[in-house]
Amino acid sequence: MAAKPVSAALLAALLAAVAAPLSAAPGRRAVTIDDLYRVKGVGSPAISPDGRGVAFTVSTTDLPAVKRWTNLWRVDADGKNARALTVLDKSDTSPLFSPDGTTLAFLSTRSGSPQVWFLPVAGGEPEKKTDVPGGVGAYRFTPDGKRLLLVAEVWPACGADLDCNRKRDEAMEKGKMKAVLADSLFVRRWDSWEDGKRTHVLRMDLADPKAPLVDLTPGDWDSPAFSVGGPEWDVSPDGRELVFTSNRDASPASSTNTDVFVVPVDGTPEQLKAPKNLTAKNPAFDGSPRYSPDGRSIGFRMQRTPGYESDRFLLALLDRATGGVRVLTETFDSWVGDFRFHPDGRRVFFLADIKGRTPLFDLDLASGKIQTATATGHVDAFEIAPDGTWAVLARRQMHLPTELWRVALAGKEPGTTTALTAVNQALLAEVDFRPMEEAFVDSPSGKKIQVLLVKPHGFDPAKKYPVIVNVHGGPQMQWADAFRGDAQVYPGAGYVVAFPNPHGSTGWGQDFTAAISADWDGKVMKDVLAVADWLSVQPWADRDRIGAMGWSWGGYAMMWLAGNDSRFKALASMMGVYDLRSMYSMTEELWFPEWDLKGTPWQNPEGYAKQSPSSYVTKFRTPTLVITGRKDFRVPYTQSLAFFTDLQKMGVPSRLVVMENASHWPGWYDMLLYYAAHLDWFHRYLGGAPSPYDPKALVANDVFGKEKAEEPKREESKGGAAK
């Protein structure tokens, strides 16, 4: 079903409003928690083969109904005729045009688990194309459009035999014995137990739906490798070869040695069981492979230091004929993120964290010259048009939710951007989403520490405001000029929020990023305290009402501050690491503590003890909120439980929130409790506006005036660099 298209005149007016200064929209009010749930999520842009249109997704939330759904939309390449293509309250995601442009494929939960559906571009109803037990995680057409390549979790003994997989799944689900049996690591990852299934690539013949699927990556390995980032596989332009990643080390829980493999798409069973390893010489990470347009090269990201997941990500090019590897970004001192080849094969476009932004860069393969294509805000995803003259970006800024933008890659004014969508414009006209300001604070290390400041609605420099310092996780990541809930909810309640990028942050060179390893309680903590001291002397800051919060590694920072500093009047720790010794044996990706803490606890007991917040229990004094999730296997909830126990034993005012269905990253509905608990806590100790939701009422499930009969399903994210 299609919604009524947006008229060209209305869209032009909306786009003009987006481009206008925020002060030009009078009468806007302060942000509330509810407003975050009114933001429509825009993403997954896919450009049609003729370059005339862009398909994308729009996610909508009904908070009182505890419901979220995602629909497919399409807009012309000039920003006209934006219209919905699907309108069901299901999850329609991952749009992809067929090579001939006649079909828009997508993943949908309308029949249960995510499956591939086809929607005729000329008009008609969607048709289900796959029925893979457990669902399809990702998919791709072969270049001739005659086949689909599917990524799915299968039982290695079953491979592509769907009936075999279905029977095994049903036996596990219906069986009375519920247990985990493991003879080696991994035992669990992120939010799920390892049950013996593996991620494989399956080949499906579209011309003959009855033809059996073929497992192209058989064996007891995840192929493609486990990833929380971009795709770890690709198909060659001639459709004859599959490239994928896999970690086949004997001890994968302590190894980052993912390699790049290839197999023929029409290979024999013997060929498929023995894929060719193209990067065997590098004992560190190799991944994110993509074929060049002519198929003669494979671009990929690589690191050089084994076991160091935060080593610099380099962009490299592998010659398929010779096997030779050429590093393309040797002089580029930042992490290379997602990348795409230009259609002519002479340039590569890539994303990278740079000083609080995530620009799109343009690399010339012949000269090695790197230029900035566009540098505004944070780019979540991008695609290049078939003619190479423009790209579509899914881009956000601190005060602007994600929308699609068109950026010129050629012509008289390359880098010029034009808005293609404005699905959040009505909300932006009503609500005062706050922009960031940038400041630099002197650190005891001699470095200038970047701080992104977000000030309250109706900010008056003559008044004094309570302040919250928000320390990021990772720790190897950055705060960026990117729309996020905690940059809006707390300013909406009257707080100034400071987002520092201390030592360990990305975007300021690899040496700055690497400086935090084995020094969790050193330079980075001095940076955070220097930011607090700087804030305390600002004329608009109330020095007696400064608090701090942090998630993941930032949660660890709050736990450490609780026993090592008294500057803050209130703390909030989420999913934090409390006891480093026990954390090592409870987490799953062991390469992280083994590198960042320089060995195992028995190899470096002094280092673990010195940097562990649990070593400073007797100094706890600051009122602290503690939040965690039962399904968090990265930083198990027992870390927060132990911290809360010790706070209570020391008589420190404290509150524990354990979210039953939350992983390391709480689901969208769990975030309602997250924000409400923070506002309630900071209101008590810093004096900002009270929370519109009572955390106790939320936990009792009567926040909307009635108890819910059953627990709603959550959509949880595994994304992010936080450990």
Helix (H) or strand (E) holding 381: strand 378-384
Q: At 319, which amino acid appears?
A: D
Residues 6 or more apart whose CB falls under 8 angstroms from that of 716 comprise: 191, 631, 661, 662, 663, 665, 666, 667
What's 653's DSSP letter? -
Give the Cα separation of 298 and 502 in Å (integer). Answer: 35
How would residue 11 be classed by pLDDT, with cut points 50, 70 and 90?
very low
- pLDDT digit string, tens, across residues 368-414: 999 999 999 999 999 999 999 999 999 999 999 999 999 999 988 89
Q: At 504, which amino acid appears?
A: G
Q: What is the CATH number of domain 434-699?
A: 3.40.50.1820
Q: At 50, which amino acid appears?
A: D
- pLDDT digit string, tens, across residues 74-111: 999 999 999 999 999 999 999 999 999 999 999 999 99
Percent with pLDDT over 70 in the chain: 94
Average confidence score pLDDT of the chain: 94
How would residue 209 be classed by pLDDT, with cut points 50, 70 and 90?
confident
- pLDDT digit string, tens, across residues 604-613: 999 999 999 9
Q: What are phi and psi of 592, to 5 degrees?
A: -65, -55
Question: Considering only CA atoms, which of 552, 588, 513 is closest in space to residue 308?
Answer: 513
CB 373, CB 407: distance < 8 Å:
yes
CB 43, CB 402: distance < 8 Å:
yes
Strands annotated E in 52-128:
53-62, 67-76, 83-84, 92-97, 103-108, 115-120, 127-128
Beta bridge partners of 348: 341, 363
How would residue 5 be classed by pLDDT, with cut points 50, 70 and 90?
very low
Question: Considering only CA atoms, which of 716, 693, 697 is closest in space to residue 707?
Answer: 697
What pLDDT is attached to residue 231? 82
CB 334, CB 509: distance < 8 Å:
yes
What pLDDT is attached to residue 255? 98
Question: Mean pLDDT across the stretch 143-160?
Answer: 98
What's 232's DSSP letter? -
Angle of the 553-564 helix axis to the 637-649 helix axis, nearest 10: 20
Give the Cα separation of 715 and 540 in Å (integer). Answer: 39
Give the Cα separation of 406 and 389 in Å (integer). Answer: 10
Residues 6 or more apart whose CB falls under 8 angstroms from that of 195 comprise: 172, 180
Beta bridge partners of 105: 96, 118
CB 337, CB 351: distance < 8 Å:
yes
What's 275's DSSP letter? -
3-class DSSP string for 161-212: CHHHHHHHHHHHHHCCCCCCCCCCCCCEECCEECCCCEEEEEEEECCCCCCC
Render 79-92 in DSSP notation, one character per residue: S---EES--SSSBE
Q: Which 3 state secondary structure label does DSSP give 370?
A: strand
Say which residue the tokens 């194309």 belong to.
129
The HSE-up count of residue 573 (CA atoms within 13 Å, CB side) is 31
- pLDDT digit string, tens, across residues 53-80: 999 999 999 999 999 999 999 999 999 9
Greater model confidence, 498 or 12? 498
613-641: buried (b, 16+ CB within 10 Å) or exposed (e) per residue? bbbbbeebebbbbbbbbebbbbbbbebbe
Position 535 pLDDT exceeds 60: yes
What pLDDT is attached to residue 412? 85
Other CB atoms within a 10 A radius of the CB of residue 462 amount to 6
- pLDDT digit string, tens, across residues 213-258: 999 999 999 999 999 877 899 999 999 999 999 999 999 999 999 9
Position 12 pLDDT exceeds 80: no
Beta bridge partners of 200: 152
234-257: buried (b, 16+ CB within 10 Å) or exposed (e) per residue? bbbbebebbbbbbbbeeebbbbbb
Position 515 pLDDT exceeds 80: yes
How would residue 259 be classed by pLDDT, with cut points 50, 70 and 90?
very high
Position 716 pLDDT exceeds 70: no
Put residue 292 in one of left, alpha, beta given phi > 0 → left and psi -120 to 50 → alpha. beta
- pLDDT digit string, tens, across residues 276-306: 999 999 999 999 999 999 999 999 999 999 9
Q: What are phi and psi of 585, to 5 degrees?
A: -85, -5
The HSE-up count of residue 547 (CA atoms within 13 Å, CB side) is 28
Beta bridge partners of 68: 61
- Residue 51 tokens read as 């370059």
- pLDDT digit string, tens, across residues 396-409: 999 999 999 999 99
What pLDDT is attached to residue 702? 78
Domain extents in the chain: 434-699
The HSE-up count of residue 412 (CA atoms within 13 Å, CB side) is 0
Say which residue the tokens 């796959």 belong to.
130
What pLDDT is attached to residue 24? 37
The gap between the terminal CA atoms of the chain, to the nearest Å, is 42
Q: Which 3 state secondary structure label does DSSP give 591?
A: helix
Give the Cα separation of 384 and 373 in Å (integer). Answer: 12
Say which residue the tokens 């004997």 belong to.
250
Helix (H) or strand (E) holding 373: strand 370-374
Sign of CA dihedral 417, 418, 420, 424: positive
CA 128, 198, 351, 590: dihedral to nearest 10 degrees?
150
How would residue 705 be classed by pLDDT, with cut points 50, 70 and 90?
low
Give the Cα separation of 475 and 524 in Å (integer). Answer: 10
Sign of CA dihedral 70, 71, 76, 77: positive
Q: At 600, which amino acid appears?
A: T
Question: Considering only CA atoms, which of 4, 32, 57 is closest in space to residue 676?
Answer: 32
Percent with pLDDT over 90 in the chain: 92
How would residue 708 be classed by pLDDT, with cut points 50, 70 and 90?
very low
566 burial type by CB count under 10 A (0-12 exposed, 13-18 middle, 19+ buried): exposed
Question: Considering only CA atoms, which of 126, 35, 179 is closest in space to residue 492?
Answer: 35
How would residue 36 be classed by pLDDT, with cut points 50, 70 and 90?
very high
Position 584 pLDDT exceeds 90: yes
Position 706 pLDDT exceeds 60: no
CB 35, CB 431: distance < 8 Å:
yes
Q: The whole model's pTM is what?
A: 0.94
Q: What are phi and psi of 10, to 5 degrees?
A: -65, -45
Q: What is the largest CA-CA distance in the chain?
A: 75
- Residue 8 tokens read as 């060209």
